[in-house]
Chain A
Amino acid sequence: MYNLGNYYEAKTVDEAISLLAENPNLKIIAGGTDVLVKMHGGKLEKAELLSIHGISSLRNIKVLEDGTISIGPLATFTQIANDSNIKKYIPILAEASESMGGPQIRNVATIGGNVCNGATSADSASSLFVLNAKLRLQSLKNERIVPIEEFYLGPGKVDLRPGEILTEIIIDKKDYSGFSGKYIKFAMRNAMDIATLGVAVLCKFENNVFDEVRIGLGVAAPTPIRCKEAETYAENQNINPATITEIGKLAVKSAKARTSWRASKEYREHLIKELTGRALKEAIVRGGGVEIA
């Protein structure tokens, strides 16, 4: 039984932002897979909920004429995992979506909710980080576009200002075109689990030389992160085992892993090194490169 304060439903974005403007305390609920769990756990008491679940305009996944991919925040993980454009242009996000929860969760959980919940373990986040995704945030008075990296402020904390809702996730063509990628969710179970580490890698290369490598990690720090040191190093490096080992090692430098009862810092850092390398190797193969043992 949930201890609800009030409950509102919006059918359009305008309705939602008007309601939010009137009452900034409203807690937005979409699929409910995070909000209801928090309420069940007593972390959110007598919440006044604003359901945006019925805003059908926020569900679409589109490729615009200029190649920009526009994802409605209410797209469910099932929808994303099965979307032909996502699978064609940004398969790494389909891969991440498929790793999330179980089928029942994926059927209702939305990508927008996953992002706005602000968890470092969000399965979509590390992929969206390497895709340089941008978020369109709308309030009654204002609209702004924020790079996802700037949106995450701390554990469970995002730059969603009072009155704002997330209305679009934008991925530019230059951020996926020519890249190949791999997402590895390392968890204790193959389903229904939270990542011990999430590793998203995108790379672009020619003649066995890296043009660009992007590495996004989840659960390696209080928020999802990019591994800038490793990425900078990788530029123009030859693709070989030594380079990949070095990239893995440098990825650890960006991380702020800590020991918890879920895993030790030492183990987490070891995994970052190991799995970054593995993801990169797979991304290279997917991009038509050589297989590195």
Chain B
Amino acid sequence: MDYRVVGKSFQRVDAVDKVTGKAKYTGDFFERDMLIGKVLRSPYAHARIKKIDVSKAKSLPGVEAVLTYENVPHNKFATAGHPYALDPKKRDVADRTILADKARYVGDEIAAVVAVDELTAEEALKLIDVEYEVLEPVLTPEDALKPGAPLVHEDRKDNVLSSFGYEIGNVEETFKDCDYVFEDEFETSIVQHCHMETHVAYAYVDGNGRIVVVTSTQIPHIVRRVVGQALGIPWGKVRVIKPYIGGGFGNKQDIVLEPLVAAMTLAVGGRPVKLEHSREESMVASRTRHSFKFKIKTGVTKEGKLVATHIRAISNTGAYASHGHSIASSAGTKFRPLYNFKAIKYDPVTVYTNLPVAGAMRGYGAPQIHYALECHIENIARKLNMDPIEFRKQNFAGVGFQDPISGVRTYTCGLKECVERGKELVNWTAKKAKYAKQTGDKRRGVGMACFSYLSGTHPVSIEIAGARIVLNQDGSIQLQIGATEIGQGSDTVFAQIAAETIGIRMDQVHVISTQDTDITPFDTGSYASRQTYVTGMAVKKAAEEVKAKILDFTWGMTDIPASALDIKDSNIIYKHNGEIVMPLEEVAMRTYYDVVHAKPITSDTSNNARVNAPSFGVTFAEVEVDIKTGKIDVIEIYNVHDAGTILNPQLAEGQVHGGVSMGLGYALSEQLLIDEKTGKVLNNNLLDYKLPTIMDTPEIGVDFVETNEPTSAYGVKSLGEPPVISVAPAIRNAVLDATGVAFNQIPMNPQRVFEKFKEAGLI
């Protein structure tokens, strides 16, 4: 394909703004008379509020308002950043109110203060007297599922949010046709996104009585809807603005601060109020990744053909639904394009506990299930005495697969090539031989794991995206999109799609990075690795419309039929020989100022993507294990992806670096630790929560096997979340290779490795 803009490593459109500090984030805006909001948090995992006395807090000079469940609206709302569903049965569980009379985890919001500054607000929090009736908490999913367990939400009589699963074929019957049936159990931990910029928002009431919320969010249009729902006001009375954002990873695909900060401004007559999470609050009171427990049972033939699998999963959603069962459902969906099973049964259950709330996080259930599945597959290959790579390869579903439930078809799949590439990169064969018989205190091994993912949420949710283009007098354009740039580079890639499609230079595209629900075209936001796939098509459609209008206008000016014209490097050219007819600028000027025909060219386009495309990839890792200290070092790591066409190689590589880094932490060190008795998070800061630093990160090798997906603009498939998915199982399989010890729980931190090595007699 001969592209001029697409496929090239153009500098990020926000690069200069960000590195020079000119980029303004939510916390950089100052409104006159801005007040500060602070939240009083529950010290108990489960307690009923019997009485709150705010009189002392209210009388503290500088305190403007104190909010409790008694003086805020009681409308129930759901916080998950999903598109609204007209069908009530498909809506997220609405189990929140702005403030409640019950605390459901340590850190739950009990009351809030608005004051002239942070210190006064904090002082006021100490003056609020709360009388609690302390209730017995449920701190594990197992305890929550016991008959008669205390109820996190009274209207959920069994603490079960949902147990909706599926069965494809008949698993029990199919097991009978298998030569072997293998069973394994796996467990993943609660981890946190740790985006650099914590949740922050401020709100005020404008002169027309509308609430304006400026917030660090991935989903401005959804925020608008939920603030409206929570306050019980028409959605049009809310305006949401999203400036630059310092990372989200799914944690900002959720409504965390906005209804409360909106209630705060209403409580002080519309004065601006800012609410910002400290890191300690962010670690506990935003969202986390669901921890899962899996039991997997898989039947295979003696030739090594995967036939049937039965996956049982317990997902711990914490105190409120947030994305709830959608995570378990997504987990059960996204691995299906990977292997060819005749029968699959998926039995998930998502359980409430009195723990911090789990929500969306990069991969959305896929890292959990792929950890389990790819460790399980490795175990099976070893038990069958088969090469784990060949075993996987002969079971790949590949091109032609059609998902029996969603109907999504695999038109493109470069997975086999990805595996071959990765195998070469890590020097698999030589290392396998070299590390076959080791005895020392430091042992090395290689491992790999594969994944499949989807590009967006179709057919589960509506996939609607908007783009707007305005052609300027000089032939440049403004590009507005509803999908949010959250660091992943979508604005740059959208600019490339627009430039390529219209035929203008990259420097002729001005992307408006800020989303403002009053101005921005409708788009549900950035999540599900949907932007280039879903919104990219909206941009392409808008650009095609602009191009067609330009050529039509030129036809009117020149009498050369539009069909004979094209645009290249911001010039109108003859299609047949490339000769320049006139600069685009000349046409653009006419569209504004021609005394008869002036009609500035714009497009306002929406794309409702009723398609989806599986993307694929593999991680290869080499580790060195210090047997005596339990420390695992990743020596080499490679991610090879089939993400369709790569629109911007450098940005794509950056995306993979970030995902692999997150996967390294997931595999080796990260875990939110909970006090078993009180439910309190023990490591609510970045010292004690072991997010890896750059010093813990090996050189990350990245490669792509490009395919040309027919259902998207320029052949793209998802790449936002996928890089994190297969990292942890690849490292686990490498550790197994090095030591013979099979870990079935992450993170594999030194303490846990030590215990397991003792058990295995290595220490």
A contact set with B: CB distance below 8 Å: 1, 3, 102, 186, 188-194, 196, 261-264, 267, 270-271, 274-275
Given contact pairs A1-B117, A189-B690, A261 touches B673 in the complex (Cβ within 8 A): yes
Min CB distance B526 to A, Å, is 29
| Contact flags B674-708 to A (C-beta < 8 A → 1, else 0) | 01000000110011101011111000000000000
Query: Could you tell me which residues of chain B, from 652 to 689, have a CB within 8 Å of some CB in chain A?
Result: 669, 673, 675, 682-683, 686-688
Q: Does B763 contact A (CB under 8 A)?
A: yes
Q: Give the residues in chain B near A271, CB-CB below 8 Å.
A: 629
Given contact pairs A193-B687, A261-B673, A261-B682, A186 touches B629 in the complex (Cβ within 8 A): yes
Docked Cα-Cα span, A122 to B118, in Å, equals: 32
Nearest residue (CB) in B for A37 is: B687
Q: Which of A1, A190, A193, A263 contacts B119 (CB 8 A)?
A: A1
* A-B pairs with lowest CB-CB distance, top 8: A190-B695, A191-B695, A1-B118, A191-B693, A188-B690, A274-B628, A267-B754, A190-B696
| Contact flags B201-240 to A (C-beta < 8 A → 1, else 0) | 0000000000000000000000000000000000000000
Q: Give the residues in chain A near B83, CB-CB below 8 Å.
A: none
Q: Give the residues in chain A near B711, CB-CB below 8 Å.
A: none
Q: Give the residues in chain A near B688, CB-CB below 8 Å.
A: 262
Min CB distance A258 to B, Å, is 14
Q: Give the residues in chain B near A267, CB-CB below 8 Å.
A: 630, 750-751, 754-755
In the complex, the answer to whether B751 meets A3 with C-beta atoms within 8 Å is: no
In the complex, the answer to whether B750 meets A3 with C-beta atoms within 8 Å is: no
Q: Does B478 contact A (CB under 8 A)?
A: no
Min CB distance A57 to B, Å, is 33
SS class, residues of chain A in contact with chain B: loop
In the complex, the answer to whether B693 meets A189 with C-beta atoms within 8 Å is: yes
Docked Cα-Cα span, A194 to B685, in Å, equals: 13
Given contact pairs A3-B119, A267-B751, A274-B628, A188 touches B693 in the complex (Cβ within 8 A): no
Given contact pairs A188-B669, A189-B692, A191-B693, A263 touches B687 in the complex (Cβ within 8 A): no
Q: Does B163 contact A (CB under 8 A)?
A: no
Q: Which of A192, A262, A275 contacts B629 (CB 8 A)?
A: A275
Min CB distance A244 to B, Å, is 13
Docked Cα-Cα span, A262 to B690, in Å, equals: 11
Min CB distance A21 to B, Å, is 30
Docked Cα-Cα span, A188 to B695, in Å, equals: 11
In the complex, the answer to whether A189 meets B682 with C-beta atoms within 8 Å is: no
Q: Give the residues in chain A near B140, CB-CB below 8 Å.
A: none
Q: Give the residues in chain A near B750, CB-CB below 8 Å.
A: 188, 196, 267
Q: Give the residues in chain A near B763, CB-CB below 8 Å.
A: 270
Sample of 20 further A-B pairs with CB below 8 A, known A188-B690, A196-B750: A3-B119, A186-B629, A188-B749, A188-B750, A189-B690, A189-B695, A191-B693, A191-B696, A193-B690, A194-B687, A261-B673, A261-B675, A261-B683, A262-B688, A263-B751, A264-B755, A267-B630, A267-B751, A267-B754, A274-B628
Q: Give the residues in chain B near A262, CB-CB below 8 Å.
A: 688
In the complex, the answer to whether B754 meets A189 with C-beta atoms within 8 Å is: no
Q: Give the residues in chain A near B122, CB-CB below 8 Å.
A: 3
| Contact flags B723-763 to A (C-beta < 8 A → 1, else 0) | 00000000000000000000000000111001100000001
Q: Give the residues in chain B near A263, CB-CB below 8 Å.
A: 751
Given contact pairs A186-B629, A270-B754, A271-B629, A192 touches B119 in the complex (Cβ within 8 A): no
Q: How large is the interface on B (under 10, 10 to 19, 20 to 34, 35 or more residues)?
A: 20 to 34
Q: Give the residues in chain A near B690, CB-CB below 8 Å.
A: 188-189, 193
Docked Cα-Cα span, A232 to B229, in Å, equals: 74
Q: Give the residues in chain B near A193, CB-CB below 8 Å.
A: 687, 690
Docked Cα-Cα span, A261 to B750, in Å, equals: 13
Docked Cα-Cα span, A192 to B683, in Å, equals: 15
Nearest residue (CB) in A for B750 is: A188
Q: Give the residues in chain A near B686, CB-CB below 8 Å.
A: 192
Nearest residue (CB) in A for B752 is: A267
Nearest residue (CB) in A for B753 is: A267
Q: Give the residues in chain B near A190, CB-CB below 8 Å.
A: 693, 695-696
Q: Give the residues in chain A near B673, CB-CB below 8 Å.
A: 261
Nearest residue (CB) in A for B626 is: A274
Q: Give the residues in chain A near B754, CB-CB below 8 Å.
A: 267, 270
Docked Cα-Cα span, A190 to B673, in Å, equals: 21
Q: Give the residues in chain A near B687, CB-CB below 8 Å.
A: 192-194
Q: List 10 A-B contacts (CB under 8 A).
A: A3-B122, A188-B690, A188-B750, A189-B695, A190-B693, A190-B695, A263-B751, A264-B751, A267-B755, A275-B629
Docked Cα-Cα span, A218 to B673, in Å, equals: 24
Docked Cα-Cα span, A194 to B689, in Å, equals: 11
Q: Identify which of A1, A188, A191, A193 gathers the most chain B CB atoms within 10 Å of its CB.
A: A188
Min CB distance A37 to B, Å, is 9
Docked Cα-Cα span, A274 to B695, in Å, equals: 23
Min CB distance B212 to A, Å, is 25
Q: Give the residues in chain B near A188, CB-CB below 8 Å.
A: 669, 690, 749-750
Docked Cα-Cα span, A23 to B421, in Å, equals: 70
Docked Cα-Cα span, A264 to B630, in Å, equals: 13
Docked Cα-Cα span, A188 to B671, in Å, equals: 12
Query: Could you tell me which residues of chain B, from 379 to 415, have a CB within 8 Å of some CB in chain A?
Result: none
Nearest residue (CB) in B for A187 is: B690
Min CB distance A47 to B, Å, is 13
Min CB distance B196 to A, Å, is 14
Nearest residue (CB) in A for B278 is: A40
Min CB distance A277 to B, Å, is 9
Nearest residue (CB) in B for A42 is: B122
Nearest residue (CB) in A for B682 is: A261
Docked Cα-Cα span, A192 to B694, in Å, equals: 10
Docked Cα-Cα span, A156 to B673, in Å, equals: 24
In the complex, the answer to whether A189 meets B628 with C-beta atoms within 8 Å is: no
Nearest residue (CB) in A for B631 is: A186
Q: Identify which of B122, B750, B755 gathers the most chain A CB atoms within 10 Å of its CB.
A: B750
Nearest residue (CB) in B for A2 is: B119
Given contact pairs A194-B687, A271-B629, A274-B628, A189 touches B696 in the complex (Cβ within 8 A): yes
Docked Cα-Cα span, A186 to B754, in Å, equals: 14
Min CB distance B687 to A, Å, is 6
In the complex, the answer to whether A192 meets B117 with C-beta atoms within 8 Å is: no
Q: Give the residues in chain A near B628, CB-CB below 8 Å.
A: 274
| Contact flags B461-480 to A (C-beta < 8 A → 1, else 0) | 00000000000000000000
Min CB distance A283 to B, Å, is 18
